Amino acid sequence: MTNPVTIIKIAETAGVSTATVDRVLNNRPGVNPVTVRKVREAIASLGGGTPMRGRPRSTSNYRFAFVLPAARLGFFDLVDRVVAQAAGEFRHQHITEVTHRLPAADGVAFAAELAKLSDLDGVALLAPDVPPVKLAINELVRAGVHVVTLFSDVPGSLRETAIGADNRAAGRTAGLLVGRSLGRQEPAPCALLSPVTRYAAEIDRRIGFQQVLEERFPQAQALRLFELPESEDEAYEYARVVLAPAATGGRLRALYNVGPCSFGVARALAEHGYGHDDLVFIAHDLLEVHRSMLLSGAVSYLLHQDVQYAVTAAARVLRALCDGVRGALAINNPRVEILTAENLA
């Protein structure tokens, strides 16, 4: 009589994750030969029987990590809070989650910390798009860890899918709102603000914005200001200089900020005499400070996505991948929402 063993027992004996064992048993690619041999040897040492599929739900959880940059306040902190608030739902799905905040200023250091997570079943990752991070993702996947990117993609890596709104579409939406606000005046000065970024999300927003202006609004003269600091006080000092009428060649008609620190930018605009009806100001993400700015008129439009949906969708996808569910990657990503002072619920 064969001796049935569980996937969990095989994983413990081989010193790998259950996701790796599942990949080996189903002959899926992405596991290096040394790891395959370890898993086969573990099965043989346990009696060589047919492994029992699935996990005993009463005694075992999947272990997932949400990996976020340690830098910045604002959106990254919002995601952190949403993950924490979803902990009860995750427990109900037999998921143990942990959030890691990794150093984002140094891509090599971020990648080194990311690579240490090879004992997990899955990782939902918001990371800078730099070569060391791509390599770390690829190594995790080869070790049998399921990886999805969250809100900002790392294209060219072996991650299994990207979850979050279409950032190119978000930038194009901003371009449409700005372009329609300019009228037919020739020329119509506006500004595109961005940090010195390594996040694909912010780069895609910039590209989408500029595409729409070039395609549909040739009267727009967009100043590209791509050195916005990532703290509110420093952003204020920077914007106070670069948004001065003397620096912009006259009064701006519209402004789009693809990243953080819109409050600091708004302070500088007010100092230069811009009223709430003088300039269309578009920012991202429904943070509490942005809600107040939208209600006061300091921001004209917020582009937002359903953060809670994206976080829980990431966990569902990772769970389905671990379970080998057919169609695990068939999900609907959140749409870009246009929020105004009139439609805040």
* Prediction pTM value: 0.82
In a domain, 339, yes or no: no
Q: How many domains does the chain have?
A: 3
The pLDDT value recorded for residue 60 is 60
Co-location of 41 and 121 in the same domain? no
Co-location of 146 and 187 in the same domain? no
Tell me the pLDDT of the chain averaged across its residues: 90
Co-location of 224 and 153 in the same domain? no
Co-location of 123 and 227 in the same domain? no
In a domain, 344, yes or no: no
Percentage with pLDDT > 90 across the chain: 69
Q: Higher model confidence: residue 341 or residue 184?
A: 341
Q: Residue 1 pLDDT more than 50?
A: no
Co-location of 128 and 85 in the same domain? yes
> What confidence category does residue 187 fall into, taking pLDDT thresholds of 50, 70 and 90?
confident
In a domain, 129, yes or no: yes
In a domain, 345, yes or no: no
Least confident of 22-26, 74-78, 81-85, 314-318: 22-26
Co-location of 155 and 173 in the same domain? no
> What confidence category does residue 94 fall into, taking pLDDT thresholds of 50, 70 and 90?
confident
Co-location of 116 and 160 in the same domain? yes
The pLDDT value recorded for residue 51 is 58
Q: Higher model confidence: residue 38 or residue 159?
A: 159
Co-location of 153 and 187 in the same domain? no
CATH number of the domain where residue 171 is located: 3.40.50.2300
Q: Residue 184 pLDDT more than 70?
A: yes
In a domain, 127, yes or no: yes
The pLDDT value recorded for residue 33 is 80
In a domain, 340, yes or no: no
Co-location of 121 and 218 in the same domain? no
Please state the rounded mean pLDDT for residues 115-131. 95
CATH number of the domain where residue 23 is located: 1.10.260.40
Co-location of 175 and 300 in the same domain? yes
Co-location of 141 and 262 in the same domain? no
Q: What are phi and psi of 336, to 5 degrees?
A: -80, 125
Co-location of 178 and 291 in the same domain? yes
- For residue range 43-69, list pLDDT tens digits in order: 888 876 555 444 444 436 899 999 999
In a domain, 88, yes or no: yes
Q: Residue 255 pLDDT more than 80?
A: yes
| Secondary structure in 3-state letters for the chain | CCCCEEHHHHHHHHCCCHHHHHHHHCCCCCCCHHHHHHHHHHHHHCCCCCEECCCCCCCCCEEEEEEEECCCCCHHHHHHHHHHHCHHHHHHCCEEEEEEEECCCCHHHHHHHHHCCCCCCEEEECCCCCHHHHHHHHHHHHCCCEEEEECCCCCCCCCCEEECCCHHHHHHHHHHHHHHHCCCCCCEEEEEECCCCCCHHHHHHHHHHHHHHHHHCCCEEEEEECCCCCCHHHHHHHHHHHCCHHHHCCCCCEEEECCCCHHHHHHHHHHCCCCCCCCEEEEECCCHHHHHHHHHCCCCEEEECCHHHHHHHHHHHHHHHHCCCCCCCCCCCCCCEEECCCCCC
The pLDDT value recorded for residue 29 is 65
In a domain, 40, yes or no: yes
- For residue range 5-46, list pLDDT tens digits in order: 677 778 888 888 777 877 787 766 667 888 888 888 888 888
The pLDDT value recorded for residue 55 is 41
Percentage with pLDDT > 70 across the chain: 92
Find which of 3-7, 51-55, 286-290, 330-334 is predicted with most confidence, using mean pLDDT: 286-290
Please state the rounded mean pLDDT for residues 304-309. 97
Residue 199: domain span: 167-304
